[in-house]
Amino acid sequence: MDDDQLYIDAVSKKNAYFVPMTVWQVEVKKSADAKDERDRYRDRAYRAEKELDELPQAIHDLEKQLEVAQGQSYASTAARVANRPLT
């Protein structure tokens, strides 16, 4: 009986020494998919951190542009008013 291949196969399956190829393939695919998803989230987090690091400089640039625009607007308004006669 110990030499019977069917008995050996049955004992191996019962004791979890045997993993069917289809089960193994499914588990390998799940593992690969999980690693791919982890990599996507890690890349997404890296890009978000990089964007966050660049945000203060972008805010500073926008503030400078606003100051220039407000200065030009004030200067042009003052010039128009200065050219008008007082009534």
Which of helix, strand or coil describes residue 1?
coil
Average pLDDT rounded to a whole number, residues 5-9: 67
18-44 b/e (C-beta count within 10 Å ≥ 16 → b)? eeeeeeeeeeeeeeeeeeeeeeeeeee
The pLDDT tens digits of the residues spanning 22-62 come to: 988 999 999 999 999 999 999 999 999 999 999 999 999 99
The pLDDT tens digits of the residues spanning 73-84 come to: 777 776 776 666
